[in-house]
């Protein structure tokens, strides 16, 4: 598959995401934020960074970009969309994913290797996290529903939930399972030299449709 | 009756300097000219007390791509690529407002690097504060660390290393030195010299405001009502988002070949960047301040010329390409304005709406400042204080734990986890995993290593030997990851050079730097000088911060600094001759005094070669240099990092004249602590001192033998968060 990586002014990890996508898929290209044309890609990564300086609120401005409008339409049509860190924030702001990201409970930016547990398989992944606003939050009823629907994709392993995310949630998917957001950075875990290759599994899981919830009886949102 | 002080004196010019300006102009300068001269003739811009000394430094080398005088130095890393690097201080702003001071220090050093066409790929920081039992030091530490993180994290450049020391003499005058590493295709790099009469001068980036009008505030207040100047912030405010756009914009402009030259705006703003560009190119420049985009409409010409508003760059562009340049600036949503042109005749002219408001010869402005000789005198003894925090009769276990928990030695994880150390996908060794940061360069098919060091306390004990040690420490750190030095840069943080002691410290340190670089064959490709670092209690420790960049062929071979495998032999390599002089233990005992032993420089260079070769061949399980706190601390740190104990004995050092406590805690250059296969260590000529294994750190040292549990050692070594955040508790 061909991946596209959105590039906003203030994106930081778009080159890393591009590199990871090239390793994972059959090719990858950057997509400029002002263009509604997704250039024929099969999946989109909304990368980490500080889109538009994260003025107002993390991800709050990027959601209004022409590229994000196109991504929202494509996601509704079933295209895989992966939001990483700031990209997760953007997807939440855009309403493509439930919940919100708040400031870390320790009120400090933190960069460190964390262990994630993949829901379903129980596999543990070692992936770096680096953010100051990564505390996942959603109201209790919504969380219950996410868990019922199988939308919680990743949780921090015991002792690794340093940002204080509710129920240890590190990543969530939409109901249909084609949009995934997570705070840790799978694109920074694709090379044994820089620490781990576990991140490729995240790209696999999304692109292979493994997150599509088989048990949910609800109709996909369109 | 009060005598009015002449403006030029309040601006920091001496009577004779002012007379020289009048002579060069053939008349009295007006306010615009006076403001510009006062800044470019300041120590910060003119290096008037240090330039003569700096001529001692070796600057030539076959790998040097850009040397001193450019925005940053650069060395060839092969395959058509170069690595650029520079360190710069932002000490005084950080002492006033640590968050913005440190943040704009990071922003400024990155602009220096992308000004030569290199993409910033890594940052390091060298920080000095007073002791952590001072509220002020905790405040400055917290603010500076947050500021560095804010800027570096937001712009997406990895902060891969650095160092922090806490010492009383920095209480009133903290040091914040930031280093940036850039990576470029050598062919795409650009110099700062203006060229081509008739070419346009384009100002890019943020608009210009009244922030950072530091030295010239005397002129400013003369035109404002009483108290208004208090509203005028002299510390610049940084905006990493603005810089991120400007960075991408400049790199795209250079890649497309649209710029003749590029220069960042740092200290003294437009004045220094325009002046230096004109001087380097041997041309003149006209600038019309009416065309500079302003944040406040009523700014005076001198304010526009000296403003230190951040995130601005100045470019020389051929007239036919200005529209293309502006289009790319628009794409990146960053400002651009054609504010002047390159002229012949060697004059820098400031205009407002076409009317000349200032005119001076570039040569007089940029290169006309007199250079001074220093008047050094060695102090009669230790001029800094001594404070006993560790009782003389303490047990060796107690001493080891006290050293491990000393904030200068304890793990800095609390700080470096606040920095993004991985963005860019080059970071092969994250902070504290190895003695130097290692960055892979797949484009050049190799990797670089970077180390930054400078133990001010030891330099205070002996500025010459202490500075040599700082250079050797960097070289040793590079050897630990298998890297061969390519080039060195430095930031000389000293007290007042006009005082005999300050002059002596600076003079001796520069000689030490020069001699060490000669011995290692490492060229100095750039540097920065920060003088007048003094508080009410006296000068800071003389602190030459040395940063070295080296290359290694294969990052996959790099060993860490943690003990790995039970049963591995532990060995000591190198001419390490430990002494308590200037050591952390001497500090804690309140026994600091002048003097350091003379290091065996040639022996250290040879040991670096042995270690480098062994690391490159992947023959070692772990390697670190023996540094602050001596061999016992190095052993404990390797054990803590690996989560495995060890059984060692350091009595062998008695043969080198070391008493047991010197063998444990004595410091000095030249020591490498390595672990691995016993036969390999023997083959390398290492002195075998023990074996990896167990839950205890045991060190035999005659009547000072000690044993502490791994858990107790780790708890001491990880105590920095509790010490730094005690106000929050």
- With a cut of 70, say whether residue A147 has pLDDT above it: yes
Comparing CB atoms, the residue among A13, A49, A112 nearest residue B417 is A112
- With a cut of 50, say whether residue B221 has pLDDT above it: no
Contact call for B423 and A128, based on CB within 8 A: no
Contact call for A109 and B421, based on CB within 8 A: no
Comparing CB atoms, the residue among B149, B155, B428 nearest residue A194 is B428
State residue B42's pLDDT score: 87
Residue from B123, B153, B438, B560 to probe the interface with A (highest A Cβ count within 10 Å): B153
Comparing CB atoms, the residue among A15, A52, A109 nearest residue B418 is A109
Q: How many alpha carbons fall within 13 Å on the CB side of residue B562? A: 11
Spatial CA neighbour of B313 closest among B303, B321, B301, B325 = B325
Phi, psi of B476 (to 5 degrees): -65, -40
- With a cut of 80, say whether residue B233 has pLDDT above it: no
The helix/strand/coil state of B9 is: helix
% of chain B with per-residue pLDDT over 70: 96
Contact call for A50 and B154, based on CB within 8 A: yes
Q: Could you tell me if B538 and B385 are in contact, meaning their C-beta atoms sit under 8 angstroms apart?
A: no
Q: Which residues pair with B691 in a beta bridge?
A: B569, B647
The DSSP 8-state label assigned to residue B576 in this structure reads -
Closest approach of chain A CAs to the CA of B191, in angstroms?
27
Alpha carbon distance B665, B143 (integer Å): 32
Name the token pair of B29. Answer: 């300068």
Confidence of residue B11 (pLDDT cuts 50, 70, 90): confident
Q: What is the mean pLDDT of residues B4-28?
A: 92
State residue A51's pLDDT score: 84
Alpha carbon distance B592, B355 (integer Å): 62
Q: Could you tell me if B120 and B244 are in contact, meaning their C-beta atoms sit under 8 angstroms apart?
A: no
Q: What is the mean pLDDT of residues A12-40?
A: 95
Catalytic residue among A24, A85, A93, A118, which? A85
> Would you tell me how many other CB atoms lie within 10 Å of the CB of residue B393?
6
The residue behind tokens 């009523």 is B298
Alpha carbon distance A6, A173 (integer Å): 19
Contact call for B240 and A53, based on CB within 8 A: yes
* B332 contacts in chain A (CB < 8 Å): 9
Confidence of residue A210 (pLDDT cuts 50, 70, 90): confident
State residue B382's pLDDT score: 97
State residue B222's pLDDT score: 40
Contact call for B420 and A15, based on CB within 8 A: no
State residue B70's pLDDT score: 87
Q: Could you tell me if A42 and A2 are in contact, meaning their C-beta atoms sit under 8 angstroms apart?
A: yes
Q: Is A111 a catalytic residue?
A: no
State residue B494's pLDDT score: 97
Q: Could you tell me if B96 and B85 are in contact, meaning their C-beta atoms sit under 8 angstroms apart?
A: no
The DSSP 8-state label assigned to residue A67 in this structure reads H
Alpha carbon distance A148, B697 (integer Å): 50
Q: Could you tell me if B710 and B637 are in contact, meaning their C-beta atoms sit under 8 angstroms apart?
A: no
Name the token pair of B399. Answer: 């001493």
- With a cut of 60, say whether residue B161 has pLDDT above it: yes
Query: What Cα–Cα distance (Å) separates residue B317 from each residue in B201, B260, B261?
Result: 6, 6, 7
State residue A70's pLDDT score: 96
Q: Could you tell me if B202 and B315 are in contact, meaning their C-beta atoms sit under 8 angstroms apart?
A: yes
Residue from B106, B121, B335, B420 to probe the interface with A (highest A Cβ count within 10 Å): B420
Burial class of residue B533 in the structure, from the number of CB atoms within 10 Å of its CB (0-12 exposed, 13-18 middle, 19+ buried): buried
Query: What Cα–Cα distance (Å) separates residue B365 from each residue in A197, B287, B369?
Result: 56, 15, 7
State residue B342's pLDDT score: 96
Higher pLDDT, B226 or B603: B603
A8 touches chain B (CB under 8 A): no
- With a cut of 70, say whether residue B471 has pLDDT above it: yes
Chain segment B534-572, per-residue pLDDT in tens: 988 899 999 999 999 999 999 999 999 999 999 999 999
Comparing CB atoms, the residue among A9, A15, A130 nearest residue B244 is A9
Alpha carbon distance A39, A35 (integer Å): 9
Closest approach of chain A CAs to the CA of B249, in angstroms?
10
Spatial CA neighbour of B649 closest among B706, B576, B701 = B701
State residue A199's pLDDT score: 97
Query: What Cα–Cα distance (Å) separates residue A206 from each residue in A81, A83, A100, A210?
Result: 8, 11, 21, 6
Closest approach of chain B CAs to the CA of A4, in angstroms?
18
Q: Could you tell me if B637 and B480 are in contact, meaning their C-beta atoms sit under 8 angstroms apart?
A: no
- With a cut of 80, say whether residue A93 has pLDDT above it: yes
Burial class of residue B137 in the structure, from the number of CB atoms within 10 Å of its CB (0-12 exposed, 13-18 middle, 19+ buried): buried
3-state helix, strand, coil in chain B (%, to 5): 40, 25, 35
- With a cut of 50, say whether residue A216 has pLDDT above it: no
Confidence of residue A43 (pLDDT cuts 50, 70, 90): very high
Q: Could you tell me if B466 and B348 are in contact, meaning their C-beta atoms sit under 8 angstroms apart?
A: no
- With a cut of 50, say whether residue B228 has pLDDT above it: no
State residue B220's pLDDT score: 45
Alpha carbon distance B248, B329 (integer Å): 9
Spatial CA neighbour of B413 closest among B427, B431, B400 = B431
Closest approach of chain B CAs to the CA of A108, in angstroms?
7
Higher pLDDT, B188 or A202: A202
Pairing type for strands B687-692 and B81-89 reads: unpaired
A193 touches chain B (CB under 8 A): yes
Closest approach of chain A CAs to the CA of B336, in angstroms?
17
* B150 contacts in chain A (CB < 8 Å): 109
State residue B234's pLDDT score: 65
Contact call for B422 and A110, based on CB within 8 A: no
Contact call for A111 and B440, based on CB within 8 A: no
* B434 contacts in chain A (CB < 8 Å): none
Q: Which residues pair with A111 in a beta bridge?
A: A130
Contact call for A19 and B425, based on CB within 8 A: yes
Alpha carbon distance B416, B160 (integer Å): 8
* A52 contacts in chain B (CB < 8 Å): 241
Sheet holding B687-692, edge to edge: B622-625, B672-676, B569-573, B687-692, B646-649, B696-700, B706-709
A50 touches chain B (CB under 8 A): yes
| Torsion sign across C-alpha atoms B586, B587, B593, B596 | positive
A87 touches chain B (CB under 8 A): no
Alpha carbon distance B598, B344 (integer Å): 54
- Burial letters B555-593, b for 16+ CB under 10 A, else e: bebbbbbbbbeeebbbbbbbbbbbbbbbbbbbbbbeebe
Largest CA distance in chain A: 43
* A58 contacts in chain B (CB < 8 Å): none
A109 touches chain B (CB under 8 A): yes
Spatial CA neighbour of B141 closest among B104, B188, B102 = B102
Spatial CA neighbour of B647 closest among B563, B714, B560, B580 = B563
State residue A125's pLDDT score: 97
> Would you tell me how many other CB atoms lie within 10 Å of the CB of residue B678?
15
Chain segment B293-330, per-residue pLDDT in tens: 999 888 999 999 999 899 999 999 999 999 999 999 99
Alpha carbon distance B327, B347 (integer Å): 31
Q: CA torsion B155→B550→B127→B101, rounded to 10°?
A: -30
Q: Is A160 a catalytic residue?
A: no
Spatial CA neighbour of A79 closest among A45, A104, A47 = A45
Q: Which residues contact B721 (CB under 8 A, 6 or more apart)?
A: B414
Contact call for B418 and A110, based on CB within 8 A: yes
Chain segment B481-519, per-residue pLDDT in tens: 999 999 999 999 999 999 999 999 999 999 999 999 999
Closest approach of chain B CAs to the CA of A67, in angstroms?
15
Catalytic residue among B44, B49, B92, B150, which? B44
Alpha carbon distance B271, A126 (integer Å): 51
Q: By CA distance, what is B424's nearest residue in A?
A: A16
Q: What is the mean pLDDT of residues B216-241?
A: 57
The per-residue DSSP string of B340-380 comes to EEEESSSEEEEEETTEEEEEEEHHHHHH-SPP--------S
Spatial CA neighbour of B408 closest among B576, B541, B594, B574 = B541
Alpha carbon distance A41, A77 (integer Å): 13
Average pLDDT over chain B reads: 93
Confidence of residue B594 (pLDDT cuts 50, 70, 90): very high
- With a cut of 70, say whether residue A174 has pLDDT above it: yes
Higher pLDDT, A61 or A76: A76
Chain segment B336-372, per-residue pLDDT in tens: 999 999 999 899 999 999 999 999 999 999 999 999 9
> Would you tell me how many other CB atoms lie within 10 Å of the CB of residue B427?
27
State residue B297's pLDDT score: 87
**pTM metric for this prediction:** 0.94
Contact call for B424 and A108, based on CB within 8 A: no
Closest approach of chain B CAs to the CA of A213, in angstroms?
33
State residue B215's pLDDT score: 52
The DSSP 8-state label assigned to residue B408 in this structure reads T
What are B's interface residues with A at a Cβ cutoff of 8 A? 146, 149-150, 153-156, 239-242, 244-245, 248, 332-333, 416-428, 430, 440, 555-556
Closest approach of chain B CAs to the CA of A22, in angstroms?
14
Comparing CB atoms, the residue among A13, A109, A112 nearest residue B149 is A109
Contact call for A194 and B422, based on CB within 8 A: yes
Q: By CA distance, what is B159's nearest residue in A?
A: A111
Q: By CA distance, what is B330's nearest residue in A?
A: A9
Confidence of residue B3 (pLDDT cuts 50, 70, 90): low
Name the token pair of B656. Answer: 């080198």
Confidence of residue A57 (pLDDT cuts 50, 70, 90): confident
A167 touches chain B (CB under 8 A): no
Alpha carbon distance B438, B428 (integer Å): 5
> Would you tell me how many other CB atoms lie within 10 Å of the CB of residue B225?
7
Q: By CA distance, what is B121's nearest residue in A?
A: A12
| Torsion sign across C-alpha atoms B167, B171, B173, B179 | positive
State residue B647's pLDDT score: 98
């Amino acid at each position: 598959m061909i991946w596209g990586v959105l590039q906003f002014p203030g994106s930081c990890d778009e080159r890393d995401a591009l590199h990871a996508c090239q390793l994972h898929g059959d090719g990858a290209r950057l997509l400029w934020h002002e263009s509604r044309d997704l250039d024929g890609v099969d999946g989109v990564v909304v990368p980490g960074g500080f889109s538009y300086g994260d003025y107002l609120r993390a991800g709050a401005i990027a959601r209004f970009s022409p590229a994000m409008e196109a991504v929202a339409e494509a996601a509704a049509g079933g295209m895989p969309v992966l939001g990483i860190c700031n990209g997760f924030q953007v997807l939440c702001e855009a309403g493509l994913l439930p919940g919100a990201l708040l400031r870390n409970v320790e009120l400090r930016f933190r960069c460190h290797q964390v262990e994630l547990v993949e829901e379903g398989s129980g596999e543990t992944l070692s992936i770096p996290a680096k953010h100051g606003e990564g505390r996942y939050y959603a109201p209790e009823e919504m969380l219950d529903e996410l868990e019922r629907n199988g939308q919680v994709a990743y949780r921090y392993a015991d002792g690794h939930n340093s940002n204080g995310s509710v129920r240890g949630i590190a990543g969530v998917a939409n109901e249909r399972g084609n949009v995934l957001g997570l705070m840790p950075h799978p694109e920074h875990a694709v090379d044994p030299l820089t620490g781990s290759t576990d991140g490729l599994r995240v790209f696999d899981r999304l692109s292979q449709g493994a997150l599509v919830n088989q048990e949910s009886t609800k109709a996909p949102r369109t | 009756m009060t005598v009015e002080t002449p403006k030029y004196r309040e601006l920091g010019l001496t009577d004779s300097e002012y007379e020289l300006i009048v002579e060069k102009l053939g008349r009295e300068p007006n306010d615009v000219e006076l403001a510009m001269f006062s800044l470019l003739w300041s120590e910060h811009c003119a290096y008037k007390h240090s330039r003569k000394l700096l001529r001692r430094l070796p600057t030539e080398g076959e790998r040097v791509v850009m040397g001193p005088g450019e925005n940053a130095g650069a060395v060839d890393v092969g395959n058509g690529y170069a690595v650029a690097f520079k360190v710069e201080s932002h000490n005084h702003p950080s002492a006033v407002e640590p968050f913005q001071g440190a943040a704009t220090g990071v922003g400024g050093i990155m602009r220096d690097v992308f000004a030569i066409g290199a993409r910033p790929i890594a940052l390091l920081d060298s920080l000095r504060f007073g002791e952590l039992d001072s509220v002020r030091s905790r405040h400055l530490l917290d603010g500076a660390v947050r500021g560095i993180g804010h800027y570096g994290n937001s712009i997406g450049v990895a902060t891969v290393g650095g160092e922090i020391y806490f010492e009383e003499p920095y209480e009133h005058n903290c040091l914040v030195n930031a280093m940036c590493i850039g990576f470029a295709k050598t062919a795409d790099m650009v110099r700062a010299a203006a060229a081509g009469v008739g070419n346009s001068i384009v100002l890019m980036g943020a608009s210009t405001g009244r922030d950072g009008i530091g030295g010239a505030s005397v002129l400013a207040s003369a035109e404002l009502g009483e108290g208004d100047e208090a509203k005028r912030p002299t510390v610049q405010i940084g905006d990493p988002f603005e810089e991120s756009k400007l960075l991408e914009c400049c790199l795209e402009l250079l890649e497309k070949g649209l710029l003749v030259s590029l220069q960042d705006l740092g200290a003294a703003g437009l004045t220094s960047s325009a002046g230096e560009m004109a001087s380097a190119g041997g041309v003149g420049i006209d600038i019309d301040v009416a065309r500079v985009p302003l944040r406040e409409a009523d700014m005076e010409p001198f304010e526009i010329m000296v403003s230190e508003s951040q995130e601005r760059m100045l470019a020389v562009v051929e007239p036919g390409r200005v529209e293309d340049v502006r289009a790319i600036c628009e794409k990146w949503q960053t400002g651009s304005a054609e504010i002047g042109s390159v002229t012949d005749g060697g004059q820098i002219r400031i205009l407002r709406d076409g009317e000349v408001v200032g005119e001076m010869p570039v040569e007089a402005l940029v290169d006309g400042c007199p250079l001074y000789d220093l008047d050094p005198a060695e102090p009669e003894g230790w001029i800094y204080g001594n404070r006993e925090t560790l009782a003389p009769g303490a047990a060796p276990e107690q001493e080891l734990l006290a050293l491990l928990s000393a904030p200068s030695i304890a793990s800095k994880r609390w700080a470096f986890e606040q920095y993004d150390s991985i963005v860019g996908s080059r970071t092969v060794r994250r902070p504290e995993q190895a003695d130097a940061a290692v960055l892979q360069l797949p484009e050049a098919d190799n990797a670089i290593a970077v180390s930054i060091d400078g133990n001010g306390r030891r330099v205070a004990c002996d500025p010459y030997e202490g500075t040599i040690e700082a250079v050797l420490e960097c070289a040793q750190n590079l050897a630990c990851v298998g890297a061969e030095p390519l080039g060195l840069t430095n930031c000389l943080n000293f007290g007042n050079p006009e005082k005999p002691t300050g002059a002596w410290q600076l003079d001796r340190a520069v000689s030490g730097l020069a001699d060490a670089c000669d011995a290692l064959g490492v060229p100095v490709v750039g540097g920065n000088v920060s003088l007048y670092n003094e508080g009410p209690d006296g000068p800071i420790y003389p602190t030459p911060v040395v940063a070295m960049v080296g290359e290694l062929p294969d990052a996959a071979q790099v060993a860490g600094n943690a003990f790995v495998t039970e049963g591995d032999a532990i060995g000591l390599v190198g001419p390490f001759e430990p002494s308590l002089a200037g050591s952390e233990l001497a500090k804690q005992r309140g026994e600091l005094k002048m003097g350091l032993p003379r290091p065996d420089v040639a022996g250290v260079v040879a040991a670096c070669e042995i270690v480098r070769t062994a690391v490159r061949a992947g023959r070692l399980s772990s390697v670190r240099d023996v540094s602050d706190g001596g061999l016992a601390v190095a052993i404990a740190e390797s054990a803590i990092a690996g989560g495995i104990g060890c059984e060692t004995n350091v009595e062998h050092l008695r043969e080198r004249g070391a008493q047991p406590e010197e063998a444990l805690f004595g410091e000095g250059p030249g020591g490498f602590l390595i672990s691995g296969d016993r036969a390999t260590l023997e083959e390398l000529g290492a002195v075998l001192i023990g074996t990896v294994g167990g839950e205890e750190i045991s060190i035999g040292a005659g009547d000072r033998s000690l044993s502490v549990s791994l858990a107790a050692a780790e708890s001491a070594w990880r105590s920095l968060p509790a010490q730094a955040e005690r106000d929050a508790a």
